[in-house]
Amino acid sequence: MSRVWIAGGRVLDPASGIDRVADVVIEDGRIGAVGSGVEVSGAEKVDATGCWVTPGFVDLHAHLREPGQEYKEDIASGGRSAVAGGFTLVCCMANTQPVNDDPAVTDYILDRARNDSPARVLPIAAATKGLEGKIMTEMAALQRAGAVAFSDDGHTIMDGAVMRRVLEYARMIGAPVSVHAEDRHLVGQGVVNEGPASTRLGLPGNPAAAETVLVARDLLLAELTGAHLHVGHVSTAGAVDLIRAARERGVHVTAEVTPHHLALTEDATLGYDTNTKMAPPLRSKADVEACRRALAEGVIDAIATDHAPHAPHEKDVEFTAAPPGVLGFETAYAVVMDLVRAGEISPIELVARLSTGPARVFRQPYGSLAKGAVADVAILDPDREWLYDPLKGYSKSHNSPWAGGTLRGRPVVTLVGGRIVYDVERGVVAP
Amino acid sequence: MIGRDLLGIEDFDRADLERILETAAHMQEVGLREVKRVPTLRGRTIINLFFESSTRTRTSFEIAGKRLSADVINFSAESSSLSKSESILDTARTLDAMAPDAVIVRHKVAGVPKRIADALDAPVINAGDGAHEHPTQALLDLFTVLQEKGRIDGLTVAIVGDITHSRVARSNIYGFTKLGADVRVAGPPTLLPPAVESLGVKAFTSLREAIEGADVVMALRIQSERLQGAYVPSVREYSAMWGLDRAKLRYAREDAIVMHPGPINRGVEIAHDLADRRPSVILEQVRNGVAVRMAVLYLLAGRAQAGQEGAR
Amino acid sequence: MGRVVLDDAAIRRALVRIAHEVVERNEDVARLYLVAIPNGGVPLARQLAANLLEIAGHELPVGVLDTTLYRDDLTRRGERPPLRRTEMPSAVDEKIVVLVDDVASTGRTIRAAMDALMDFGRPRAVQVVALVDRGHRELPIRIDYVGKNVPTAASEKIVLHGHRGTLEPPLEVRVEAREQG
């Protein structure tokens, strides 16, 4: 019987509401006991004094790039980067090459994950074949193969009738549909938020309405079909208001927000750094504040990284030509800790949005430190300051707006299924 | 204090602008001499790095550089590997290895000169980037107005046309407001940038209101592809509502001057007979371009970044 | 501060004497063209022109020629020096150009002025006036007319005090110590 004894940390378990200094004992990959003064023999002891002990983070939105774009990232490197960020479960988007619209691709991803990734990986399959927004994928077969949700992500389904049928069909099999809600026509050539920043930069603007218009459509279609709509990376105050109102009238909607949309405004784009180019774009201060409030209130269920690795040569180009997206895993905790430090959210609520909340959204049996739960655990030092150098990180790519910056808050140990897979001193130690 | 690069008028303060304009006035005198060349930048190399073709601006910089005795080398994207796979920064680093004393950059995408400046030792001069800035155009416009009106403080300047896609508009907005003019922009709402008033101007969707009492009326060039329905319904409707002619101009001050950054779409932004004669000062603008660019090159070329003196 | 080497009266006497020397040396006074090197040379050239009108009865053209664009010391350091105006009211071809500067020293400014002058045409001859010659010549350049030779140490500088911003000649010339550092 293998045992790990996590001693002296501040245990934060949103599932059971525990927030106190306690020891956590893990036995054979499951949580054995949470208590004080327990005497554990024959256990590997991890001193967590001064640290938070939380359920491992669950990311509902990441791009691991495999198969097809392994020069940016692969399941092994992405998985290592995830556990270095405290994430124990990553749901990866379907925009691989080939697209994950076929159970064979789903199988491949799961197989690679089992062998190479220290983090759990669960695929999100495409909602339409080839992400073309026309013909539905074989959702039931994909679900049987292991897909946890369906999404065309950035290839937003613009045809409302297709979207309606996708939602109806997904409802039948009880799967969530995750959306990147941006009206592609309103986005146009837009690469930064439309407003004072786009005007100063002279770059085409992407209006907040591009998001709100499509969030409104998808909420109405979710209401019509009774399906579970999950709104990806919410970035506007308008979308937040629409989601809040839909929830109040009983629409089955969940939502996520990224660390960058919680931390950065459009002003970050003013130097033309392509590592500030995101989709949706970094928004106004008022939008950021609305997202932060919605996260604290629980209108937004989850923090999702939208981890989107791109190779240096792809980002070293004109702002308009650069692919949108940034790395997310390794900086997420430090970036969102700003909300705790600003007094906008309690530690246990923040942990809920990183673990328990997202696990519930995709109905996964993780995100809990209750006795008998799978021992996916993150140990986090909330005050540790560190210099973030993507070259020393685990992703194959280095596209981060925080590169070279000093961050505060860092995952120090990550356990998946009771096994230590990451330790800040030794790095990723398994597989 | 004038920094290493000239990326945009937004970065300059009033004293910087006045210094450049004063220097330009002296450079203008050089252009009147029998021998229009001074040895100031002898032995220095200036690279004209034009990713977007612009014969006018490139030639103006080339003449300016040559009048200062610099070696001016034209590097155009069409003849390079850029269209293939070399990144902008690779190109910049390659050029930097040739140790230029200034690199003049033109690109159709906003922000490219800034990215290149970040990667280079040499001073970078923005010769127009997307819809961002075209600082030397604004400097020559300021210079022209100063010569025509004797001042900029207190003038009313109306900029008319496609403001959204205009780097000339942005640079002029910064330049004229910094020097104390009251700046108005006007155009169809589809061609006014969002939150344009955050730049310190007043926006109008009526030509008449915009040029009422104006001392300077500046028409902007409109790209023909924007006149085919996406932004305005047709050329005819645009020129009827927004094209400058002598009849519309009577709403401006009696002594108002008319400017245009060129090249002109005759009969679209500006009536044929207005473009060629007073109160139009379009040819003066072109002439002043050389003097202003000489001033900029004199002030910047071959200078090290503050704190890096003698690095080479 | 410092010692006075020329006072107001001495400066005026020197400019009268120089005017006489110029007339003595140049039979063809009508060919003369005074060209001042700004800023210090400008009031001196005007005063010389007035003196020459009195002595020889000829109203001579006075030009102003900035030498900044011809300097040999533009470095990578710091800001570029401000330009000063150049105003050459008539052609220099076949003229006897008399360059007028306040203080002659290394000769580099005179060298720059001669180069600049050649860009305006081909003068028959070029002569040089300096109110003060402080020595330290670095180029083979001779000053034809000197108000006063003032040998100085490298640690000293020549300072002209006078009506700032007017066209009047300076009131006095001093030798002062350079600031340390």
- Do the Cβ atoms of B121 and B311 come closer than 8 Å? yes
B2 closest CB neighbour out of C71, C76, C79: C79
Read off the tokens for A93: 């988007």
Q: Is the pLDDT of residue B206 over 50?
A: yes
CATH of A55-361, one of 3.30.70.20, 3.40.50.1110, 3.20.20.140, 3.40.50.1360: 3.20.20.140
- Give the chain C residue nearest B35 (alpha carbons): C119
- Give the chain B residue nearest A194 (alpha carbons): B194
Q: CA-to-CA distance for A117 and A81, rounded, in angstroms?
A: 10
- Do the Cβ atoms of B89 and B116 come closer than 8 Å? yes
Q: By C-alpha distance, which of A417, A335, A354 is closest to A86?
A: A354
Q: CA-to-CA distance for A97 and A89, rounded, in angstroms?
A: 22
B199, B68: one domain: no
- Give the chain A residue nearest B111 (alpha carbons): A272
Q: What's the whole-number mean pLDDT along residues B51-75?
A: 93
pLDDT above 90: percentage of residues in chain B: 75
Per-residue pLDDT of C126-181, as tens digits, reads 999 999 999 999 999 999 999 999 999 888 888 888 766 666 778 888 888 887 54
Residue found under tokens 């500030």:
A276
C74 closest CB neighbour out of B23, B37, B40: B40
> Could you count the other beta carbons within 10 Å of the beta carbon of residue A255?
29
- Residue A295 Cα to chain centre, angstroms: 14
In chain B, how many domains are there? 2
Contact assignment for B309 to C78 by CB distance below 8 Å: yes
**pLDDT band with cut points at 50, 70 and 90 for residue A123:** very high
Contact assignment for B39 to C115 by CB distance below 8 Å: yes
Q: CA-to-CA distance for A301 and A291, rounded, in angstroms?
A: 11
Q: CA-to-CA distance for A175 and A167, rounded, in angstroms?
A: 9
C/B touch flag: 3 or more CB pairs below 8 Å: yes
Sheet bearing A57-62, strands edge to edge: A57-62, A87-92, A120-125, A149-153, A177-179, A229-231, A253-257, A302-303
Q: CA-to-CA distance for A240 and A245, rounded, in angstroms?
A: 9
User: What is the crossing angle of helices B14-30 and B282-300, to 10°?
Assistant: 110
B34 closest CB neighbour out of C78, C80, C119: C119
- Do the Cβ atoms of B45 and B101 come closer than 8 Å? yes
Residue type present at position A160: G
Q: Give the lowest-confidence range in A99-108, A336-345, C88-97.
A: C88-97
| Coil, strand or helix at A235 | coil
Q: What's the whole-number mean pLDDT along residues C36-53?
A: 94
Q: Is the pLDDT of residue C75 over 90?
A: no
Tell me what the pLDDT averaged over chain B comes to: 91
> Could you count the other beta carbons within 10 Å of the beta carbon of residue A178?
31
How many cross-chain Cβ pairs, A to B, lie less than 8 Å apart? 63
- Residue B117 Cα to chain centre, angstroms: 18
Q: CA-to-CA distance for A14 and A357, rounded, in angstroms?
A: 9
A201 vs B contacts (CB less than 8 Å): 110-111, 132
- Give the chain B residue nearest C83 (alpha carbons): B23
Q: What is the DSSP string of chain B?
A: ---S-B--GGG--HHHHHHHHHHHHHHHHHTTSSS----TTTT-EEEEEESS--HHHHHHHHHHHHHTT-EEEEEEGGGSSTTTT--HHHHHHHHHTT--SEEEEEESSTTHHHHHHHH-SS-EEEEEETTTB-HHHHHHHHHHHHHHHS--TT-EEEEES--TT-HHHHHHHHHHHHTT-EEEEE--GGGSPTTGGGGS-EEES-HHHHHTT-SEEEEPP--GGGGTTTSSS-HHHHHHHH-B-HHHHTTS-TT-EEE--S---BTTTB-HHHHHSTTB-HHHHHHHHHHHHHHHHHHHTTPPPTT-TT--
Beta bridge partners of C13: none
Q: CA-to-CA distance for A402 and A331, rounded, in angstroms?
A: 8
Phi, psi (degrees; rounded to nearest 5) at B13: -105, 175
- Do the Cβ atoms of B143 and B255 come closer than 8 Å? no
Q: Which H, E and C letters describe B5-58, residue by residue?
A: CECCHHHCCHHHHHHHHHHHHHHHHHCCCCCCCCCCCCCCEEEEEECCCCHHHH
B298 vs C contacts (CB less than 8 Å): 69, 80, 83
Read off the tokens for C80: 């570029």
Residue type present at position B252: A
B253, B174: one domain: yes
Q: Is the pLDDT of residue C45 over 90?
A: yes
- CATH code of C8-71+84-153, in short, is 3.40.50.2020
Q: Which residues lie closer than 8 Å to A86 by C-beta, 6 or more apart?
A: A54, A56, A57, A332, A333, A354, A378, A380, A411, A414
Q: pTM of the predicted model, to two decimals? A: 0.91
What is the domain range of residue B73?
A: 9-134+287-300
- Do the Cβ atoms of A22 and A36 come closer than 8 Å? yes
Report if residue B120 sits inside a domain: yes
Q: CA-to-CA distance for A23 and A269, rounded, in angstroms?
A: 44
**pLDDT band with cut points at 50, 70 and 90 for residue B1:** low
We find that the CATH architecture of domain A3-53+373-385+404-428 is: Roll (2.30)
C74 vs B contacts (CB less than 8 Å): 40-41, 302
Q: What's the whole-number mean pLDDT along residues A275-279?
A: 97
Q: What's the whole-number mean pLDDT along residues A149-158?
A: 97
Known catalytic membership, residue A28: no
Give first-to-last CA distance, chain A, whole Å. Answer: 20
Q: What is the DSSP letter of A66?
A: T
Residue extents of the structural domains in chain A: 3-53+373-385+404-428, 55-361
Q: CA-to-CA distance for A117 and A57, rounded, in angstroms?
A: 15
Tell me what the pLDDT averaged over chain A comes to: 96
Chain C interface, Cβ < 8 Å to B? 66, 69-71, 74, 76-80, 82-87, 115-116, 118-121
CATH code for position B200:
3.40.50.1370
The active-site residue, picked from A152, A306, A381, A423, is A306
B130, B251: one domain: no
Q: Is the pLDDT of residue A378 over 80?
A: yes
Q: Which residues lie closer than 8 Å to B105 by C-beta, 6 or more apart?
A: B49, B50, B51, B112, B113, B116, B124, B125, B126, B127, B129
Q: Is the pLDDT of residue B30 over 50?
A: yes
Q: What's the whole-number mean pLDDT along residues B51-66?
A: 93
**pLDDT band with cut points at 50, 70 and 90 for residue B86:** low
Report if residue B104 sits inside a domain: yes
- Do the Cβ atoms of B290 and B64 come closer than 8 Å? yes
> Which pLDDT score is estimated for C166?
65
Report if residue B311 sits inside a domain: no
Q: Which residues lie closer than 8 Å to B172 by C-beta, 6 or more apart?
A: B9, B137, B138, B141, B142, B157, B159, B183, B218
CA dihedral (A158, A164, A167, A172) in degrees, to 10, reads -150
Contact assignment for A203 to B130 by CB distance below 8 Å: yes
Q: What's the whole-number mean pLDDT along residues A377-396?
A: 97
Contact assignment for C76 to B30 by CB distance below 8 Å: no
> Which pLDDT score is estimated for B307?
44
Beta bridge partners of B202: B184
Read off the tokens for B251: 């709403």
B140, B248: one domain: yes
> Which pLDDT score is estimated for B282?
95
CB-neighbour burial class of residue B283 (10 A; exposed 0-12, middle 13-18, buried 19+) = exposed
Q: How many CA atoms lie within 13 A of B61 on its CB side?
A: 32
CA distances (Å), A179 to each of A231, A254, A354, A424, C78, in order?
5, 11, 19, 34, 55
> Which pLDDT score is estimated for B308?
45
Q: Helix, strand, coil % (nearest 5) of chain C?
A: 30, 25, 45
Q: What angle do CA B247, B248, B253 make, to 5 degrees?
A: 100
Sheet bearing B257-259, strands edge to edge: B202-204, B182-186, B156-160, B216-219, B257-259
- Residue C148 Cα to chain centre, angstroms: 13
Report if residue B250 sits inside a domain: yes
- Do the Cβ atoms of B20 and B143 come closer than 8 Å? no
Per-residue pLDDT of A306-344, as tens digits, reads 999 999 989 988 999 999 999 999 999 999 999 999 999
C83 closest CB neighbour out of B23, B41, B310: B23
Q: CA-to-CA distance for B198 and A197, rounded, in angstroms?
A: 10
- Do the Cβ atoms of A359 and A2 come closer than 8 Å? no
Q: By C-alpha distance, which of A138, A400, A106, A398 is closest to A263?
A: A400
Q: By C-alpha distance, which of B146, B253, B157 is closest to B201?
A: B157
Q: CA-to-CA distance for B198 and A385, rounded, in angstroms?
A: 37
Q: Which residues lie closer than 8 Å to A221 by C-beta, 6 or more apart?
A: A160, A163, A164, A167, A227, A229
Select the more confidently predicted residue: B263 or A221. A221
B299 closest CB neighbour out of C66, C80, C118: C80
Reported as type and span, the H/E element at residue A356 is helix A356-361
Report if residue B248 sits inside a domain: yes
Contact assignment for C119 to B19 by CB distance below 8 Å: no
- Do the Cβ atoms of C112 and C66 come closer than 8 Å? no
Q: Is the pLDDT of residue B309 over 50?
A: no
B208, B89: one domain: no
Q: CA-to-CA distance for A89 and A414, rounded, in angstroms?
A: 11
CA distance C151 to chain B (A): 31
CA distance B1 to chain A (A): 20
Residue extents of the structural domains in chain C: 8-71+84-153
B115 vs A contacts (CB less than 8 Å): 272
Q: What is the DSSP letter of A269?
A: G
- Give the chain B residue nearest A193 (alpha carbons): B194
Q: What is the DSSP letter of C172?
A: E
Q: CA-to-CA distance for A300 and C72, rounded, in angstroms?
A: 67
Q: Is the pLDDT of residue C26 over 70?
A: yes
Contact assignment for B30 to C66 by CB distance below 8 Å: no
Contact assignment for A318 to B107 by CB distance below 8 Å: yes
Q: Give the lowest-confidence range in A23-37, A44-58, A183-197, B222-236.
A: B222-236
C/A touch flag: 3 or more CB pairs below 8 Å: no
Q: What's the whole-number mean pLDDT along residues B77-83?
A: 52
Q: What's the whole-number mean pLDDT along residues B26-45?
A: 92
Select the more confidently predicted residue: A390 or B87. A390
Phi, psi (degrees; rounded to nearest 5) at C161: -110, 135
Q: What's the whole-number mean pLDDT along residues C94-108?
A: 96
Q: By C-alpha distance, which of A156, A66, A69 is closest to A105?
A: A66
B157, B277: one domain: yes
